Structure 1
Amino acid sequence: MKTVVSVSRLAVLVLIALISIVPILWMISGSLRPYQELFKYSSSLNLHLFVPVEFTFANYKEVIVDDKNPFMRFIGNTLLVASIVTAFVLIVNSMAAFAFAKLRFRGKTILFAMFMSAMIIPAEVTLVPNYLLMHDLGWLNSYMALIVPSVLSVFGIFLLRQFFAEIPNEIMEAAKIDGATTARTFVSIIMPAAVPALITLGLMTFLGNWDSYLWPLIVINDSKRQMIQVAIASFSSMEGTDWSKILAASTLSTIPILLLFLFLQRYYIQGITMSGIKG
């Protein structure tokens, strides 16, 4: 009976893995085909559905060296913004989470409940107020409009608070007896112990900014500062129905995220399981 359960579980996992990876394989395969071949074998299940008959790297070449649509510049813009936002999110939200988890101050419970209530507000509701605020500050069409509104993450505070709450208070008391200040305890003890949770939040934040589309589309008009997902959308409209180039651009934008997750997936899974967020 145990063998049947194990085999069934393995079969389900393999099926889920195939369902997840097939679109990625088709995207990569399509990026290596000429446009005339892209949909020729898509109506039937055969080898050429995933293996191109005529391999070509022309799509990547045209995407990378296109002067009117400098795709590598868009990748650089997105990498810069996503990295800065991730760094600030880890610093600001870790301090807030530490205060909610370990410090005592008046109104902490009420304030934390107010923070958590913000999680039920759809992001689309805050688009207009945030846009007006960026306009009043003179930050439209600048990196500040992409970075500053993304620094505070209510989910990040909740995630880190759950992790910090599991750290024994005795450790902080021992550090205080040894003469360590609250700031020193936070930097030298709490933060090193929370590396898995920090990496988890960092991956989520980086991925969210890498895939951001609506907000950059609203606040950025200068193509030289545009983000990668908006660039792909504009590339598709400029190139009409040449989906081979669009698939090449999508493949290029996916590679950094896949590499980042492959290197950090162990910490990501550990951070999720140790933070109390399961299922």
Structure 2
Amino acid sequence: MNPKLKTIAMRFVLYTLLTGGAVIVLLPLFWMILTACKQSGQALEFRFFPDAFVESEAKTIMSVQEGKSLATFEYDPRLHPSMPAATKVNLAGEMNGWNPNANSLVKEGMVWTITLPIAPGRYEYKFVINGSKWTPDQGNPPKDGGDCNSVIELKPGRCSNKILSDATELVGKELIFKIYRPQSNVLQAKVNKQAYPLEKDKDGYFHGRVLVQEEQPQYSILEPQTFWEGMKKIYTFSNFTKVLNNPEFPFSTFFLNSLIVAAGTALATVFLCTMAGYAFAKKEFFMKKQLFAILLSTMMIPGMIFMVPQFAIVNKFNWINTYQGMIVPHLANIFGLFLLRQYISTIPDSLFEAATIDGASELQIFKIIIIPLSLPIMVTLFLLTFVGQWGNFLWQLIVNTPDSVYRTLPVGLALFRGQYGQDWEMMMAGACFSILPIAILFLLAQRVFIEGMTSGSVKE
């Protein structure tokens, strides 16, 4: 095989594997961001782009019995500006003994509707909004005006309190569609999971006929939508403002607590590990190697085993619901000690000898030699510790009671889920905010890391 082609093939395979690995790693991040931007109730729907058609809620239609009336009532909030925002609409009238809870309307888009089989005749009625507000039907206003009852006269067949936007009928075994959509050019009806195109007449009505076997068939209407209209129905940025402005979810307090705990733990860990690493790398003392080996051996013990004694000690010191209870137990970082000890061991001894000859004290040596030359590994340890403590959930949950003001962001998000149910969109919006400090820190640390590497390079 041609060496050049072999090189190209190997590079292609390598880049393909790297790209695939990057996609797999970043897929949860993309899912989190997209979920945070979704409308309420759409988080678990595996849909990221809108459909060409939007489907209405399924409707059940009844056939009109001979000598009977099938009456449809519609309540349009736009015709009742004085009424409160409707969360429930009922029909009350002579047909149901003025019972305000007998017949509930179903919301379809902006309009609430209900279809009832009623004997022909003259009936007075009103709508009941949210169980308490009674109003006449302004789509069929009382002839005397005012707050009188609306009147409808029903004849055998299909009737309504006004011209219907959906006057579909079931005649025998044939479903006859008559849909009023003057603004649309294309419309489809979906029956038994099958879509049927409808034809539009000059008056703006779409017509079609479908044979059905059910006595009360269900159907839905498929209306076309533009790409951006569909995107607006799927995505929104309001979840982020809701998280920040929710009075029952003190996001700023949780965020500040996480920042204090993560930054405080990281700074203290770097300082202590640097001093200990310097001692184990460049100083001689009794049983140094044995003590270092004992410390390293503790890394083989699962961290969960230490939680019970750590909690007992924290509780003994009355550190529950305090910053020190969340920070102090994590300062003994053996991994950080190992990193600093190994790195400082590579610093030439001649630098320390020269500083000692010049009369530098241990503190001065630590300040002018150890810190500048160890800056890259110190930044690395800071980042690792910060990320670990920023996302620490279990320990912060253990040492904080549910009403603690010291709860961190991971604990707050978990309680947010428990209190408000499965509101995944809000949770993911909060999670997006939680990754911002880490992302910013890594971007800044890249420059610091490179500067530390170049300024601390020494050759002998």
Calculate the TM-score normalised by the size of structure 1. Answer: 0.90
Take 1:143 and 1:126, find their aligned partners in 2: how far apart are those partners? 19
Take 2:43 and 2:330, find their aligned partners in 1: how far apart are those partners? 38
Provide the residue aligned with 2:404 in structure 1.
223
**Which amino acid letter does the alignment assign opposite residue 414 of structure 2?**
A
Take 1:37 and 1:226, find their aligned partners in 2: how far apart are those partners? 29
**Which amino acid letter does the alignment assign opposite residue 151 of structure 1?**
L
Q: Shift of the alpha carbon at 1:269?
A: 9.1
Distance 1:246 1:219, change over 3 A: same
Unaligned runs of 5+ in 2: 1-5, 52-227, 454-460
Provide the residue aligned with 1:239 in structure 2.
420
Provide the residue aligned with 1:256 in structure 2.
437
Q: Which structure's residues are more often strand, by fraction? A: 2
Take 1:67 and 1:3, find their aligned partners in 2: how far apart are those partners? 58
* Cα pair 2:49 2:231 within 8 Å, conserved: no
Partner secondary structure for residue 69 of structure 1: coil
Provide the residue aligned with 1:157 in structure 2.
337
Unaligned runs of 5+ in 1: 273-279
Distance 1:15 1:266, change over 3 A: farther
Take 2:22 and 2:417, find their aligned partners in 1: how far apart are those partners? 29
Distance 1:178 1:271, change over 3 A: closer
Take 1:204 and 1:164, find their aligned partners in 2: how far apart are those partners? 18
Which of the numbers 22, 37, 42 marks the counterpart of 1:37?
A: 42
Q: Shift of the alpha carbon at 1:271?
A: 9.2
Partner secondary structure for residue 42 of structure 2: helix
Take 1:83 and 1:171, find their aligned partners in 2: how far apart are those partners? 31
* Cα pair 2:33 2:428 within 8 Å, conserved: yes
Take 1:102 and 1:57, find their aligned partners in 2: how far apart are those partners? 55
Which of the numbers 243, 246, 249 marks the counterpart of 1:63?
A: 243
For residues 48-107 of structure 1, the C-alpha deviation after alignment (integer angstroms, 9 at most, x for no partner) is 59x982231221122111112211210011001111111111111110010000001111
Provide the residue aligned with 1:179 in structure 2.
359
Take 2:336 and 2:293, find their aligned partners in 1: how far apart are those partners? 15
Structure having the higher Rg: 2
Partner secondary structure for residue 35 of structure 1: coil
Take 2:335 and 2:272, find their aligned partners in 1: how far apart are those partners? 13
Q: Shift of the alpha carbon at 1:37?
A: 2.8
**Which amino acid letter does the alignment assign opposite residue 26 of structure 1?**
W
Take 1:6 and 1:196, find their aligned partners in 2: how far apart are those partners? 31
Distance 1:270 1:128, change over 3 A: farther
* Cα pair 1:216 1:226 within 8 Å, conserved: yes
The share of aligned pairs that are identical, in percent, is: 35
Which of the numbers 202, 227, 231 marks the counterpart of 1:53?
A: 231
Take 2:248 and 2:406, find their aligned partners in 1: how far apart are those partners? 14
Take 2:305 and 2:333, find their aligned partners in 1: how far apart are those partners? 16
Which of the numbers 31, 35, 48 marks the counterpart of 1:26?
A: 31
**Which amino acid letter does the alignment assign opposite residue 22 of structure 1?**
L
**Which amino acid letter does the alignment assign opposite residue 225 of structure 1?**
Y
Q: Shift of the alpha carbon at 1:182?
A: 2.2
Provide the residue aligned with 2:79 in structure 1.
none
Which of the numbers 118, 130, 138 marks the counterpart of 2:298?
A: 118
Provide the residue aligned with 1:14 in structure 2.
19
Calculate the TM-score normalised by the size of structure 2. Answer: 0.55
For residues 163-216 of structure 1, the C-alpha deviation after alignment (integer angstroms, 9 at most, x for no partner) is 101111111111111111222111111110011100000000100110001111
Q: Shift of the alpha carbon at 1:224?
A: 1.5
Take 1:268 and 1:121, find their aligned partners in 2: how far apart are those partners? 31
Partner secondary structure for residue 39 of structure 1: coil
Take 1:83 and 1:205, find their aligned partners in 2: how far apart are those partners? 9
* Cα pair 1:35 1:244 within 8 Å, conserved: yes
Q: Which structure's residues are more often helix, by fraction? A: 1
Take 2:370 and 2:400, find their aligned partners in 1: how far apart are those partners? 38
* Cα pair 1:200 1:267 within 8 Å, conserved: no
For residues 97-141 of structure 1, the C-alpha deviation after alignment (integer angstroms, 9 at most, x for no partner) is 100000011110011011101111111101110111011111111
**Which amino acid letter does the alignment assign opposite residue 404 of structure 2?**
S
Partner secondary structure for residue 155 of structure 1: helix
* Cα pair 2:255 2:409 within 8 Å, conserved: yes
* Cα pair 1:97 1:158 within 8 Å, conserved: yes
For residues 238-265 of structure 1, the C-alpha deviation after alignment (integer angstroms, 9 at most, x for no partner) is 1111111111111111111112112224
Q: Shift of the alpha carbon at 1:268?
A: 6.1
Structure 2 residue 132 is the aligned partner of structure 1 residue 127: no
Provide the residue aligned with 2:379 in structure 1.
199
Provide the residue aligned with 1:101 in structure 2.
281
